[in-house]
Amino acid sequence: MINSKFKIQNSKFFFLIAISILFLSIAGYTTPNIDDISRLENSGLSEEAKGHYDKAFALYEKLIRETSDSVQQEVYLRRIFDMRFSISNKTNVLKICKYIRKGRKSSRFLKSLATWFMLQLYLEDGKIERAKSLCAKLGFIQNWFIIGPFDNDGKTGFDREYPPETEIKISSEYQGKDRKVKWRHMNIESPLGFVDLGATFRPNKNTCSYLLTFVKSNKKREVVFRIGHDDAIKIWLNNSLVFSNNNYHAARFDQSHARVLLNKGWNKILIKLCQKQGKWELLFRITSPNGNRISRLKVRANLPVNIAEHVPVEDTEKTSSGNISFLEESIKTDADNAQLYYYLAYLYNKSLPYDENKHKDFLCITKALQLNPNNPFYSYLGANLAHQPNKRRDLLEKTIKLNPDFTIAFYQLAKYYLNANNLTKALHIVNKCLDINPSFLPAICLKISIYSKQGLTPLIPPLLEEIKDAPAYKKETQNSIIRYYEHHRSQEETLAQLRKLSEIDFMDNYAREKIIKILLKTSKNSEALNRLCEMSALSPYDTWRYLRRAKIYADRYQFHKAIKV
C-alpha cells in the first residue's frame, strides 16, 4: 500500500505541474513589455487617425487590459468614451467600463471614472433608474440649504466676506446682488449629481452664492472632498477654511480634492461658489482617502442640535490629483520626455484643473512639439487644443504634412474652412479626405453641409443614401439626415428621424425638444406630456419643461395638476 503522506505530496506535485502546463498553454500568456504596449498605443492612434474607429477601439481596449500604467489606462479609457458614438457597438464601451470597475489592477480613481462614464451611458440609453443608482453609489451630495446671489462683478466676490461666512442663521435675510436674499432648502436629485445654481438663482451672471449642509460621521476620520466646480470656490469645514480655488472653468468629475478630518458627530460644510457667466454648477462627494465610498455618513441640510460653533480642523496630508499630479512630478525629473507632456496636455484638457484663461493644456502640447516636432499625433492634439482658429489651421496643416493619410486632420481642416465660409476650399479638402478613406461617413456628412450652404440641394439625396442606416457614426449621420428633412420633408417624416436620434442618444436635447414641438403642433399632447416628464427626470433643474407641462394640463382644464407642476 502506498503511504498516504506520499500520496498527498505527489498529488501536490502533479497539481503544480498541471497548473504550470495550463498557464503555458494559454495563448498569449505573457506579461506584455513596454515595447508591446507602445506598439498597441501607436497602432490604435494610427487607426483613429485614419478614421477606423472600430479598429482603434479594439486596440485601445486591449491596451487598457494589458497595461499596468495608470496614466495610459485613464487616457485611453477617456478616448474610448469619447468615441462611443463613432463605433459600431456602443455597448462595448459599457463592457470596458464594467471591466475596469471590477478589475484588481485598476486604481480607485479609475474605477470611479468608469462608474461616472457608465452613469452617462445608461442615461444615453434611457435607463434613468440605473443611472440614479450609480449616482448614489458615487455619493454625490445634493441636499443643501442655499442663499444668494451676492455680487461678484469683476470677480471681486471671491475675497469679499458676505454674512453667511460669519454667521449661520437660517431665518435671517441679507442684502444680495439685486435684492434681499434668504436661505432656502434645495434637495433636487439630478441623475448626474450636479447642483445647478444657474437654474436656481437670478441674476446668474457675475454672482456668488453659498451652500450649506451637515454630515454626521460615526467616528473621527480622514476623508477627501472630491469636487467639480464651475467656477471659483471656497469650502469651510466646521468654520475653518479647508479649500480655496479662485479658478474659473467648467465643472468636471473629481476635478479638485481636499483632504480633511471629520469629527465624530455632526460636521458643518459651507461652500461659496462664484460665477462669471455660462453654467454655474457643483459636483460634491466625500470618500475615504483611497477613493472608496463611506457608507456610514449621514447627510442633512437642516441645522442639527449640539453642533460645535467652531471646531479647528487638523492639518492632513495633501491629496494629489491622481495621474495629473503624477505626471507633473515626473516632468520635474524627466523634463525632456515629450510623451509625458502629451499625456498631461490631454488630461489637463479633460479635467480642467486650472483657470480657463491659462490654457495649460495647450502650453503642455506645445512643449511636447518642441521636444518632438515630427510627431503628427502631437500636432493633431495641439490643433484640437488651440484656442485661436488660425493656430488650429496651422497645426492641422502640419499634421497632414507629417502624415498625408491622417484622415481626421483633413476632416477637421475642412470644418475649419466651412466655418470660415470658404466653401470651395472646404469641399476640396473634404474630397481629399474621402479619397483617403471613402467609408469615413463624417466627411460625407460634412459634404452635405457644404452642398446645403452652396444651395446644391439636388446633390444631397444620393449622399443621404450612403449614410442611411450606417453601422457606425450613428449620431452624426442621423443629425445630417434630420437637418435635410427639416427643410425638405414632411413633419411626420422628420419626426420619425428625430425618434431614431433619440434612440441613439436619449440625452440629446435638440432631438427631444424638436420632437415635443412637432407633437404639440400635431395635437399629440399625451405623448408630448410623457416626453416632457422624461426630460424633467433627466434635467430636473430645467424650468422650461415644467412650464410646458403645466400649460398642457391647463389647456386640458386640469388646473390642480398644472398648479402642482
pLDDT at 319: 54
Q: Which residues contact 123 (CB under 8 A, 6 or more apart)?
A: 131, 191, 192, 506, 507, 538
pLDDT at 549: 86
pLDDT in tens, 313-334: 554 555 556 899 999 999 999 9
pLDDT above 50 (res 27): no
pLDDT at 219: 93
207: helix, strand or coil: strand
Q: Which residues contact 487 (CB under 8 A, 6 or more apart)?
A: none
pLDDT in tens, 436-495: 999 999 999 999 999 999 999 999 999 999 999 888 999 999 999 999 999 999 999 999
pLDDT above 60 (res 308): no
pLDDT at 470: 87
384 vs 25: which has the higher pLDDT: 384
pLDDT category of residue 419 using cuts at 50, 70 and 90? very high
Cα–Cα distance for residue pair 220/222, rounded to 1 Å:
7
pLDDT at 1: 36
Cα–Cα distance for residue pair 290/164, rounded to 1 Å:
32
455 φ/ψ angles, rounded to the nearest 5 degrees: 80, 20
Judged by average pLDDT, the poorest of 217-231, 318-332, 411-425 is 318-332
Cα–Cα distance for residue pair 399/411, rounded to 1 Å:
12
Cα–Cα distance for residue pair 412/446, rounded to 1 Å:
10
pLDDT above 80 (res 127): yes
In percent, how much of the chain has pLDDT > 70?
A: 91
Mean pLDDT of 348-362: 89
pLDDT at 295: 82
Task: Please give the helix or strand (H or E) that residue 237 lies within, else none.
Answer: strand 233-237
Cα–Cα distance for residue pair 263/269, rounded to 1 Å:
12
Judged by average pLDDT, the poorest of 191-200, 255-264, 543-552 is 543-552
Q: Which three cell numbers stand for residue 216?
A: 454626521
Cα–Cα distance for residue pair 521/532, rounded to 1 Å:
15
pLDDT in tens, 282-303: 999 999 998 999 988 899 877 6
pLDDT above 70 (res 28): no
Question: The pTM is what?
Answer: 0.90
* Radius of gyration of the chain from its Cα atoms, rounded to whole angstroms: 27
Strands (E), 238-387: 240-245, 256-262, 265-275, 281-287, 298-300
- Could you tell me which of 197, 115, 90, 130 has the C-alpha nearest to residue 537? 130
**Residues forming a β-bridge with 445:** none
Cα–Cα distance for residue pair 75/38, rounded to 1 Å:
14
Q: Which three cell numbers stand for residue 407?
A: 484622415
pLDDT category of residue 557 using cuts at 50, 70 and 90? confident
pLDDT at 12: 41
pLDDT at 307: 55
pLDDT category of residue 304 using cuts at 50, 70 and 90? low
Cα–Cα distance for residue pair 349/370, rounded to 1 Å:
19
- Burial label for 170, CB within 10 Å (0-12, 13-18, 19+), is middle
pLDDT category of residue 214 using cuts at 50, 70 and 90? very high
Q: Which residues of 251-262 are buried (b: 16+ CB within 10 A; e: fewer)?
A: bbbbbbbbbbbb
pLDDT at 320: 59
Cα–Cα distance for residue pair 63/76, rounded to 1 Å:
8
Cα–Cα distance for residue pair 536/542, rounded to 1 Å:
7
Task: Please give the helix or strand (H or E) that residue 197 lies within, else none.
Answer: helix 197-200
Residue with cell string 479598429: 55
Q: Write down the mean pLDDT value for the chain.
A: 90
Strands (E), 107-219: 143-151, 173-175, 180-182, 184-187, 195-196, 207-217
pLDDT at 313: 52
Judged by average pLDDT, the poorest of 27-31, 104-108, 424-428, 506-510 is 27-31
Q: Report, in this order, helix, strand and coil percent for the chain, each rounded to 5.
A: 55, 15, 30
